[in-house]
Amino acid sequence: MTPDELFDIIVIGSGPGGQKAAEQATKSGLKVAIVERERAVGGTCVHLGTIPSKTLREAALTITTLKRNADVFDFKLKENMEVSTLMRRLDSVLQSYTNHISQQMDLTGGKVFLGRASFIDETTVLVTTVKGKRTVLQGKHIIVATGSRPRTPEEIPVDHEHILDSDSILSMIYLPRSLTVIGAGVIASEYASIFSLLGVKVTMIDKTPRPLMFMEPELTGKFLDNFTRYGGKYIGNVNAKSVEWNGLQVRTILDNGQELLSDKMLVAQGRLANTEPLNLSSTGVQLGSNGTIDVDENYQTSTPSIYAVGDVIGPPSLASVSMEQGRRAIKHIIGESSKESISLVPIGIYAVPELSSVGLSEEQAREQYGDNIIIGRASFDEVARGQIAGIKDGMLKMISDEQGEKILGVHIVAEGATDLIHVGEMAILNGNSIDVFLENILNFPTLGEAYRIAALNIATKRSQRQSKKLQPRIQKLIDEAELN
């Protein structure tokens, strides 16, 4: 088929992965086409995922703060609890974000095609618009960044009315009184905690013993404490045997015989890669067992002209990671190798409270460095800023090697954890010893002080282990920390 237009790079999908790939490619002087099947650019991240869910979260937190301080400010909350009211800021946030992305694309000179892409062969893509107009594009290289969609287990009749998924939950018109959440991953935990903060009776169920199994148990323990304090309930080690809308409520029967009734249900049991309409069979691209696209460390597929980035290649399925993968794929295409493969990925979970981690977990650290690793902890009730801001139930856990020097991992649960984690990330990336937090000045009062307290905790254990007296300066710091 003769192509209508020729490009150096064709990017399919305008989510974070596609966007950053396109940006990097145009910056490198390549002629770029971006194909997007929705009517606006931005992807799941902007329209159905990260940004809308965080907008709802902000509203929930604001309402909670206002409620908490209602007597101080002589303030009364409006009774109006239509979900759209809570998301009122979303339209303007989305508008400015998509405008920004479009401007960015205009500036860099990428050409946007709104339509559905499918492969004709390994360098040719057919774009079909909503009206049925067909355009054939040819590219020397093609980046697949088509993202993912919620997985609907066969046995659960998602109707988007009573039984919802993470796409339809946001257009719910009112807050239900009760909500069953099936799943215990990031999306399930985020929505479960947000809705319970808003006064919804949330029951979360999953086959795992605790939510967010990949996070440190101490952190998820704090998360669960908080969740249950707001009336949430977690039922672990169970599967849903049947789910039905009984005409009035959602009725869930668990495999332990328990029956749950709720106004609504959220199904958050993983995501599926968007590969079907791409006609990948015409390209020789190999798929993984779960339908994701297989790639090597440079994001190149089994067909050399085709790369894939973002959710479509599978976990960790984060906007932050997808962006970096997009950039790196282009760098590989233009022969500019990226420094190192991405080994350090911070995980941010915007549940209430936030959870975040970087580097090794305690279990991984024990496996790699032995049982003598040293762990330092700081509880936010020891941190002045935590007391002031009412963030008392958080904690920071720092893991070091057995010498008490090399930082192996940092794990935080508290409001602000997703920002705070970057301090630890930079320390790990720069190979700093834990002493960097003792020898330098950190602002006071800040939550960042928790790094110092955890580092002091490690330093104390280190010297106890070496049965040495602490250096006088460190002893003084510990005394000071206790005074604070």
Ligand X SMILES: Cc1cc2nc3c(=O)[nH]c(=O)nc-3n(C[C@H](O)[C@H](O)[C@H](O)COP(=O)(O)OP(=O)(O)OC[C@H]3O[C@@H](n4cnc5c(N)ncnc54)[C@H](O)[C@@H]3O)c2cc1C
Residues lying near another protein in the complex (CB under 8 A) are found at: 37-39, 79-82, 84-85, 91, 116, 128, 130-132, 159-162, 164-165, 167-177, 246-249, 263
Cβ(445)–Cβ(438) below 8 Å: no
Is residue 270 annotated as involved in ligand binding?
yes
**Binding site partner of 168, from another protein, ligand X, none, Cβ cut-off 5-8 A by kind:** another protein
Q: Which amino acid is at 403?
A: Q
Q: Binding of ligand X at residue 15 (CB under 6 A)?
A: yes
> According to CB under 6 A, which one of 8, 216, 311, 354 is a site residue for ligand X?
311
CA gap 152, 409 in Å, rounded? 35
Residue 170 amino acid letter: L
Q: Is 263 annotated as a binding residue?
A: no
189 labeled part of a ligand binding site: yes
Minimal distance, residue 261 CB to ligand X, in Å: 25
Handedness of CA 165, 171, 172, 174 (dihedral sign): positive
Q: Which does 247 bind (CB under 5 to 8 A by kind): ligand X, another protein, none?
A: another protein
How many CB atoms neighbour CB 279 within 10 A? 15
Q: How far apart are CA 185 and CA 362, in angstroms?
A: 20
185 annotated as belonging to a binding site for a ligand: yes
- 3-class state of residue 168 by DSSP: helix
Query: Could you tell me the two tokens for 98?
Result: 């998509």
d(CA 261, CA 392): 34
Would you say 20 or 452 has its CB closer to ligand X? 20
> Minimal distance in Å, beta carbon 75 to ligand X?
30
164 binds, among ligand X, another protein, none (CB under 5 to 8 A by kind): another protein
Give me the 377-396 binding string for ligand X, x by CB under 6 A, dash otherwise: --------------------
One character per residue 334-373, x = contact with ligand X (rule: CB under 6 A): --------------x-x-----------------------
- How many angstroms separate the CA atoms of 219 and 425, rounded? 18
Q: Which does 278 bind (CB under 5 to 8 A by kind): ligand X, another protein, none?
A: ligand X
Binding string to ligand X for residues 26 to 55, with x set by CB under 6 A, is what? ---------xxxx----xxx---xx--x--
- Residue for token digits 């911070």? 346
Among 24, 123, 166, 252, binds ligand X (CB under 6 A): 166
- Residue 143 interacts, among another protein, ligand X, none and using kind-specific CB cut-offs from 5 to 8 Å, with none
Name which of 165 and 401 has its Cβ closer to another protein.
165
C-beta separation of 167 from 48 below 8 A: yes
- Return d(Cα 86, Cα 53) in angstroms, integer: 11
Length of the chain: 484
Sign of CA dihedral 454, 455, 456, 458: positive
Q: Confirm or reject binding of residue 457 to ligand X (CB under 6 A).
A: no
Place of tokens 């606006």: 40
Is 236 marked as a binding-site residue? no
Structural contact between residues 374 and 402, judged by C-beta atoms closer than 8 angstroms: yes
Q: Which of 9, 10, 14, 455 binds ligand X (CB under 6 A)?
A: 14
Helix boundaries (H) for 146-208? 186-197
Choose which of 7, 9, 11, 16 interacts with ligand X (CB under 6 A): 16
Give the other-Cβ count within 10 Å of 396's Cβ: 32
Comparing C-alpha atoms, which of 353, 418, 402, 410 is closest to residue 378?
A: 410
Residue 184 annotated as binding site: yes
In the list ligand X, another protein, none, the entry touching 182 (Cβ below 5 to 8 angstroms by class) is none
459, 474 contact by CB (below 8 A) = yes
- Closest to 266 (Cα-Cα) out of 394, 127, 169, 190: 169
CB 454, CB 397: distance < 8 Å: yes
- 190 annotated ligand-binding residue: yes
Q: Report the partner that residue 248 touches, choosing among ligand X, another protein, none (CB closer than 5 to 8 A by kind).
A: another protein
In the complex, minimum distance from the CB of residue 86 to another protein, in angstroms, rounded to a whole number:
12
| Contact track, ligand X, 247-286, x by CB under 6 A | ---------------------------x--xx--------
Confirm whether residue 335 is marked as ligand binding. no
Q: Rounded distance, CA 299 to CA 313, Å?
A: 9
For ligand X (CB under 6 A), the number of binding residues is 38
309-to-49, 57, 145, 274 alpha-carbon distances in Å: 17, 28, 5, 12
CB nearer to ligand X: give 359 or 376. Answer: 359
**What is d(CA 284, CA 59) in angstroms, rounded to the nearest whole number?**
47
Q: Is 311 annotated as ligand-binding?
A: yes
Shortest reach from residue 186's CB to ligand X, in Å: 7
* Binding residue positions for NAD(+): 183-190, 270
* Binding residue positions for FAD: 54, 146-148, 311
Q: Which residues in this chain contact ligand X in the complex, by CB under 6 A?
A: 12-18, 35-38, 43-45, 49-50, 53, 116-117, 145-148, 166, 187, 274, 277-278, 310-312, 317-320, 322, 348, 350
